[in-house]
Structure 1
């Protein structure tokens, strides 16, 4: 069965990783799939910024620790150059505070290098489709750290948007949410996008955090 995250054209990926063996393994794994394409490889923050501006990737797969800086800190600069890009951070180890930094900077997720390459492949597809990807062991703590940033929102959500928000709060992906609501995937994505806009959130994760703060979710 084809992935629900498959685009009409391959997802264009900028890989930022300074260890050659790791980069080669990731490239080989991702490029086995016709819906994923590595358009450039970089080994530093400076090269990543130059390549992002040149190739305008859909997804930047960004190592957290690079020779000339922190990949998380670089997220804001990347998004300033390519506002439509989604940044997925690769890390040797993760914590709630690091994951919260990624979310606050506008990143789309954090995935551990110890995870399998198939999980990385699916994570790339999910962030390309507009979702966020954080490990379940980090999700609750990240939400806790983000809660309380935006008060007094959510009163203008429609009943359908509230249903979508509830499903997001339960941890469902956009594909699962669409199935639960009985709508097409694109319609489900539209519901999620309107929820984000009305809550003033930059990501699904932040939308859930805001909703909890406002009492829209238990």
Structure 2
């Protein structure tokens, strides 16, 4: 009588999410499946790095926006700590530009919080198996960026324009931006106007909204 093959071990997951209710719901959903195991929970980038080194999970399921930074920016540090760990970014909203940043950083995928729990379970299994998981809406941007065919929105901003954009994100007025940059008011206005033009925005508020969506502001 042939011997049965030993059962494979569960996929070991570190969940990084700073909202307790969301984290609890995800943990309960994932741990219903015998092939998925939560080995730790973290609520910040710093804790994620420490817990990744401590638990060596197969998958880090990581919120993009955390109290001490952007989860996408932490992907490289996680991979340096545990080569081979798969990082799946969980985001409240996404865009092709953010998805491309995930891929460029070595991440295994991007899934939206609005996705169903079964879709989340499937995404975790797939990245653990070595697949990359990006929605159809993002896939073209990811492939285009990785092949150098599609420049990301905002990549043509000059250093001064990036400074102006970050100050807009802080709620500064054009006069305050000009003063902060050490330029004349008209020059400050020109910087802000070029930011709007390059982001395709009709107002400063829309420019900030687009910049946050595209991952230009964290």
Same fold at TM > 0.5: yes
Residue aligning to 2:62: 62
How far apart, in 1, do the equivalents of 2:19 and 2:91 lie? 13
Residue aligning to 2:139: 139
How many residues matched? 143
**Is residue 108 of structure 2 the alignment partner of residue 95 of structure 1?**
no
The Cα offsets for residues 66-96 of structure 1, whole Å up to 9 and x where unpaired, read as: 0000000000000000112000000000001
Query: Where does 1:9-158 land on structure 2 (aligned, <5 Å)?
Result: 9-148=9-148
Secondary structure at the counterpart of residue 134 of structure 1: coil
How far apart, in 1, do the equivalents of 2:83 and 2:106 lie? 10
How far apart, in 2, do the equivalents of 1:85 and 1:8 lie? 18
Residue aligning to 2:174: none
How far apart, in 2, do the equivalents of 1:103 and 1:126 lie? 15
Shift of 1:146: 1.2
Consecutive unaligned residues in structure 1, runs of 5 or more: 1-6, 150-218
How far apart, in 2, do the equivalents of 1:34 and 1:79 lie? 26
How far apart, in 1, do the equivalents of 2:57 and 2:79 lie? 11
Consecutive unaligned residues in structure 2, runs of 5 or more: 1-6, 150-218
Larger of the two Rg values belongs to structure: 2
How far apart, in 2, do the equivalents of 1:86 and 1:132 lie? 9
How far apart, in 2, do the equivalents of 1:144 and 1:93 lie? 20
Shift of 1:105: 0.3
How far apart, in 2, do the equivalents of 1:68 and 1:41 lie? 16
The Cα offsets for residues 7-35 of structure 1, whole Å up to 9 and x where unpaired, read as: 81000000000000000000000000000
Secondary structure at the counterpart of residue 39 of structure 2: strand
Secondary structure at the counterpart of residue 115 of structure 2: coil
RMSD: 1.1
- TM-score norm. by structure 2 comes to 0.64
